[in-house]
């Protein structure tokens, strides 16, 4: 199965976790960088292209600044990231220079994903680097983004890059062999799952039982990242980055790690961005009829089905649509600001002008700007 699934793979995102990049004391593993660069350079000669998503800045900075444990405060973590990012990129540059491969640093924040214009600018930059034969090395800008340091969203960033740059495969490398039903470091007899057909609630629950020591995201973050990637139709593999030659064996279709199968009814690039790349600025609570029309009928959202609003949002801002029980069922871009929605909610389309004094469009969210969220 794997060989046939991956036979046309060309562009690959490889995500490297902190546990792969460092030794036990938190210092960067120089030998790993040398091995990894040699392997990637050889695969590039075979025609593959790579985008590397790297963790490790905070872990590397900890070692330089003398922290034995993860710092307790956000400013200390950010200071570690600032120091560590320099050392991290220097290691990549030195390792790949032996093979005449040029690398580029790309630092992103959540805003670079949420904002459509900045998202497209980042996509164009990475695409240009790839065209020039440069290896983009992407990291969260941990010196300024508090949330990313706290939750370790490089796994999710790697997943979002699958649609941003139209890759063929996502490989997440960690310090265990793949996805287990339990933490194999605690229970050596834990069941290993070589194949996951669907990332459902059961799989997400199991992910809470296993993780890595140095990274802040753990297996939960990797499963969430895999869910995002397969939604765009991209196969995803979680494997052991400590094993030399692991990327080459994965690309050869060998039974390494855990394979997450791609969804057949994949989202478009824009709908993938709406589902996972935006940060909703408000909530629309819908009645049963409107919720059903969106989820089962693929319809636009009309004001008549809106029960109430939450948050503050303007025209064109992303909003989350919830059913009456509080479950998120969809996300989309609102054609009206929150104060306008409050005036027209419950109204039929022909009543909009009377409520507002003008009539822009019938739909609060058009179906082209609306994506149904999975359970």
- Whether 219 and 357 share a structural domain: no
Entry pTM: 0.89
Residue 28 burial (C-beta neighbours within 10 Å; 0-12, 13-18, 19+): buried
State the pLDDT at residue 150: 39
- Whether 141 and 86 share a structural domain: yes
Residue 44 burial (C-beta neighbours within 10 Å; 0-12, 13-18, 19+): middle
State the pLDDT at residue 111: 81
- Whether 182 and 320 share a structural domain: no
- Residue 229: phi and psi, rounded to 5, are -65, -45
Q: Which domain holds residue 167?
A: 2-271
- Whether 234 and 339 share a structural domain: no
CB 273 within 8 A of CB 119: yes
- Whether 154 and 202 share a structural domain: yes
- Whether 31 and 58 share a structural domain: yes
- Report the alpha-carbon distance of residue 269 to residue 28 in Å, rounded: 35
- Report the alpha-carbon distance of residue 84 to residue 363 in Å, rounded: 49
Residues lower than pLDDT 70 in the chain: 146-153, 209-217, 375
Residue-wise pLDDT tens digits, 197-244? 998 888 888 887 555 544 445 788 899 999 999 999 999 999 999 999
- Report the alpha-carbon distance of residue 92 to residue 87 in Å, rounded: 9
State the pLDDT at residue 354: 95
State the pLDDT at residue 218: 78
């Amino acid at each position: 199965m794997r060989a046939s699934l991956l036979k046309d793979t060309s562009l690959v995102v490889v995500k490297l976790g902190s546990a792969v990049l460092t030794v036990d004391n938190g210092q960067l593993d120089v030998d790993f960088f040398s091995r990894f660069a040699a392997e990637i350079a050889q695969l590039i000669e075979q025609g593959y292209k790579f985008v590397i998503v790297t963790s490790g800045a905070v872990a590397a900075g900890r070692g330089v600044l003398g922290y034995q444990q993860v710092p307790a405060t956000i400013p200390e973590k950010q200071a570690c990231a600032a120091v560590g990012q320099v050392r991290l990129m220097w290691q990549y540059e030195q390792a790949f220079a032996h093979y005449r491969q040029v690398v580029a640093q790309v630092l992103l924040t959540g805003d670079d994903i949420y904002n459509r214009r900045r998202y497209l600018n980042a996509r164009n930059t990475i695409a240009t680097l790839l065209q020039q034969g440069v290896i983009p090395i992407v990291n969260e800008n941990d010196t300024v983004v508090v949330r990313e340091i706290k939750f370790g969203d490089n796994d999710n960033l790697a997943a979002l890059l699958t649609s941003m740059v139209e890759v063929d495969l996502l490989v997440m490398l960690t310090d265990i062999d793949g996805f287990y039903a339990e933490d194999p470091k605690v229970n050596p007899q834990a069941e290993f799952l070589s194949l996951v057909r669907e990332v459902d609630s059961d799989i997400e629950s199991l992910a809470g039982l296993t993780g890595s020591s140095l990274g802040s995201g753990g297996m939960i973050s990797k499963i969430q990242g895999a869910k995002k990637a397969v939604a765009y139709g991209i196969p995803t593999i979680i494997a052991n980055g400590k094993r030399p030659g692991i990327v080459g064996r994965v690309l050869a279709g060998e039974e390494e790690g855990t394979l997450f199968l791609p969804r057949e009814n994949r989202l478009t690039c824009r709908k993938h961005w709406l589902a996972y790349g935006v940060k909703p600025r408000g909530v629309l609570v819908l009645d049963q009829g409107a919720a059903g029309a969106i989820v089962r009928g693929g319809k636009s959202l009309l004001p008549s089905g809106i029960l109430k609003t939450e948050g503050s949002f303007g025209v064109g801002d992303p909003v989350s649509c919830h059913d009456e029980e509080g479950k998120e069922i969809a996300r989309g871009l609102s054609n009206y600001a929150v104060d306008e929605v409050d005036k027209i909610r419950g109204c039929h389309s022909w009543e909009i002008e009377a409520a507002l004094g003008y009539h822009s469009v019938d739909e609060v969210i058009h179906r082209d700007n609306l994506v149904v969220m999975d359970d």
